[in-house]
Copies of this chain bind each other. A is one copy, B any other.
Amino acid sequence: MVALTLVNRPNKRRQTPEQVSELTTNRLSVYLRCLNRLDADGVHTISSRALAEQFHLNAAQIRKDLAYFGEFGVRGVGYYVTDLRQHLRQILGLDRRLRVAIMGAGNLGLALADYPGFRQEGFEIAAMFDAADGKIGHVSRGGVPIHDIKALKKVAKRDRLDIAVIAVPAPHAQAVVDQVVAAGIKAILNFSPGALKVPAEVKLKGVDLTVSLESLSFYLAQGADAV
């Protein structure tokens, strides 16, 4: 506790996230998960080396990633776990509650709605949307209400939805994304296969299950057979 306040140096003129690559932000998220566990385990300090050994990463990489945002470490000691954890939560915007909407109440959408990984770390699945009469008005097993997609604009404003997850069949994906954008949502996680168009100010991140599987298939076809 005594030392923690010493470490809070907001740092020069960084906080310039234009230059921070997505690879870095993904790693920050991984570091945070690790720090959460260390914190829960009562570990007080951790060096970049020790952190690097957990995943197979280079220690300098970790120091560089963190250095984009400030000088959080103490030379000769390492990083204070609770302190760094708080900083990462703040950098990643997890110090506030983020409201997530799931577009599409099919198998995948319903599974995601109740997926525990989504609920942790400040995310709240606030609403689902579908076009099928049979689904509208119901709730997911975990209690997430399913709205008519026509009400998206209204509900997005009322519930202050931050992020939309696209879990509709591929042929509908672009139309749904257009509605999400029109509703003013600025961040989208897309599970449907294929490229989607969004305006520059909207962040689109894709999870393409087909690409992932085919990449494994490539390994089996080329790599494993050759060995």
Contact = CB atoms under 8 A, between A and B. Distances in A.
Interface in A1-48: 15, 17-18, 20, 22, 25-26, 28-30, 32-33
A93 B205 contact: no
Interface range for A: 35 or more
Contact of A207 (B207, B214, B224): B207
Interface in A102-158: 107-108, 110-112, 114-118, 120-123, 141
Given A108-B115, A203-B216, 12 more contacts: A29-B211, A30-B195, A55-B195, A92-B218, A107-B141, A108-B111, A111-B111, A118-B209, A118-B213, A186-B224, A203-B223, A205-B216
Interface of A: 15, 17-18, 20, 22, 25-26, 28-30, 32-33, 54-55, 91-94, 98, 100, 107-108, 110-112, 114-118, 120-123, 141, 162-163, 169-170, 186-189, 192-195, 201, 203, 205, 207-224, 226-227
